[in-house]
Amino acid sequence: MPGATDQTLRPFLWRAANLYPDTEIVSRTHEGVERYTYDEYDDRTAQLANALEAHGIEAGDRVGTFCWNHHRHFETYFAVPTIGAQLHTINPLLPDEHIRYIVDNADDELIFVDESLAPKLASAAADASEFEGVDFVVMSSSETDAVEATPYESFLEGHDTAYDWPVLDEERPAGMCYTSGTTGNPKGVEYTHEMLWSHTMATLTPQGIPMADDDVVMPVVPMFHVNAWGMPFTATAGGAKHVYPGPSPDPADVAALIEDEGVTITAGVPTVWLGLMEYAEDNDLDLSALDTVVVGGSAAPESMIRWFDDRGVELLHAWGMTEMSPIGSVSHLKSSLQDADYDTQLEHRAKQGMLTPGLEMKVIDENGREVPWDGEEFGELWVRGPWVTTEYFKRPEANEEDFEVPASGASGESEDGTSSGRWLKTGDVVTVDEEGYITLVDRAKDVIKSGGEWISSVELENAVMAHDDVAEAAVVGVPHERWQERPVAFVVPADGADESTLEAEVMEMLGEDYPKWWLPDNVEFIEEIPKTATGKFSKKDIRERHTDESLVEGRVPEEAAPNDD
């Protein structure tokens, strides 16, 4: 068939197994730390392929995973797609109703589940018609009482370590992930072999997140969240050593693996690294092997970048979306900035970075006008490219809202408005500076509209978290009778912080850099910032649990009104 085998996942593993057969894959599991080589991994992947076939899994079937980051989960990453089936990574942190919806929507045939997550899956599956006909395999060598499931090692036992891998069309679906569904049901995104191949090749470039055969790669970002940002595929393609942190790793687990395995590249959301920073305050932490920490999901505060810089570790901002497989931009310094002063470099590194090679973008304002790259004008970021999805799975109504089909015959776009010409409306409000660096101002739904002007909740959050006595902070807009919305900061004080003076200190610090009308009307102290299923701050939950108009009533003096600095 045309295009067969050109751009599929199989060559990445073939290369690793044949060129780097002795390179290790290390995994923290419920049963302890386990390690083996690419050569052995290749054998077990073939065993799994034979086991899936024996179980009745056919080309086009969807196979789900309900798992943490470990070697068995990694085995499904290559075995399932390269037999022609589709790997559906399920987020176990989603509510039961969402799990039921996505299992039904995806029509999964089989689900691999971790022992510690089996009770959660059992809760979602209990008396649920959506799970009828779905079989379970528990990711261990023994059974679990939570669900009726075949142990993984028994599932593989007796199957051949050789497999006649089929020739696949690069447009065949290989993976599937669902958005976190903060409003309504989650939306399914399918990834073809070509999309994952293209994403992997782009991230291997110097302007992506390159991984080589002397790297030790540990994705702390969950493997159920957009394929751990593609890191398992990129690390395999580069012949790197893999390290998987396993079930619910705490800062001590992450620190031990970095030290013991010599991790050079790791990745996760900012809360992971805040935890590691706090752990380092009371423990002797050796980061000498570590070169790069990739941060995504939300922006890292400048203080975090400085903290890692002080220890000789580069903190690398990346931005992306489930719909983008997911990497869209990475904040590398241009060669023209290599000789700039530290503060100038830091200013650019704190941004979401430059578009990854292979993608196109434009920024569109409320009136449909493309805004200039001047670092000031705001608009919604639109992107397109070979690893950007062009539609949601079985959700035509969502397609109409989140994608633009260009007019027929538009310059540089396809006549029928398909993949080469369809833009994804990301929902992210951004500015782009003269150098092409993207700054995420806010999600379109989270930007604060006050007196006809925009206030970036993300920028205020990062500024508040720069205070040494602030552990976490989120800023949301609260309805205001006169100004439409006003910002309120919700702050988790650091251990030992003096709350009686912290609000005044935060406001004074913000007042040095921002106009009065940007300043929060209130600082509310709470025990924890609620998180989404992907570890991001949940503004929706903050609004539902903590906000009402009394927080801003009578709080805005005339001199602090918008457009009156």
Q: CA 172, CA 4: separation in Å to the nearest integer?
A: 10
Max CA pair span of the chain? 77
Phi and psi, residue 297, nearest 5°: 90, -45
Determine the Cα angle at 483 with ends 477 and 484, to 5°.
55
Name the DSSP letter for residue 537.
B
Computed from CA positions of residues 519, 521, 527, 533, in that sequence, does the dihedral angle turn out positive or negative?
A: negative
Between the alpha carbon of residue 125 and those of residues 63, 167, 230, 247, the distances in Å are 16, 35, 29, 21
CB 424 within 8 A of CB 324: yes
Catalytic residue among 23, 65, 179, 431: 179
Cβ neighbours of 123 (radius 10 Å): 12
430 - beta bridge partners? Answer: 379, 440
Pairs from 399-405 (Cβ < 8 Å, separation ≥ 24): 401/425, 402/323, 402/427
Computed from CA positions of residues 439, 191, 357, 314, in that sequence, does the dihedral angle turn out positive or negative?
A: positive
Length, in residues, of the chain: 565
Name the DSSP letter for residue 69.
B
179 is catalytic: yes
Computed from CA positions of residues 218, 223, 225, 228, in that sequence, does the dihedral angle turn out positive or negative?
A: positive
**By three-state DSSP, how is residue 155 classified?**
helix
229 is catalytic: no
- Tracing tokens 């072999």 back to the chain, one arrives at 193
Catalytic residue among 37, 454, 505, 553: 454
Q: CA 453, CA 257: separation in Å to the nearest integer?
A: 47
CA dihedral 192→193→196→198, nearest 10 degrees, is -110
351 is catalytic: no
Q: CA 152, CA 554: separation in Å to the nearest integer?
A: 61
Catalytic residue among 97, 401, 449, 544: 449
Catalytic residue among 75, 194, 323, 413: 323
Q: Which residues, at least 6 apart from 326, have a Cβ–Cβ distance to it below 8 Å? A: 226, 227, 229, 230, 296, 320
| Pick from 92, 41, 83: nearest CA to 63 | 83
Q: CA 12, CA 384: separation in Å to the nearest integer?
A: 25
In which region does residue 385 sit, left (phi positive, over 0), alpha (psi from -120 to 50) or beta (all else)?
left
Radius of gyration of the chain (CA): 24
449 is catalytic: yes
CA 9 to chain centre: 21
Enumerate the active-site residues. 179, 323, 449, 454
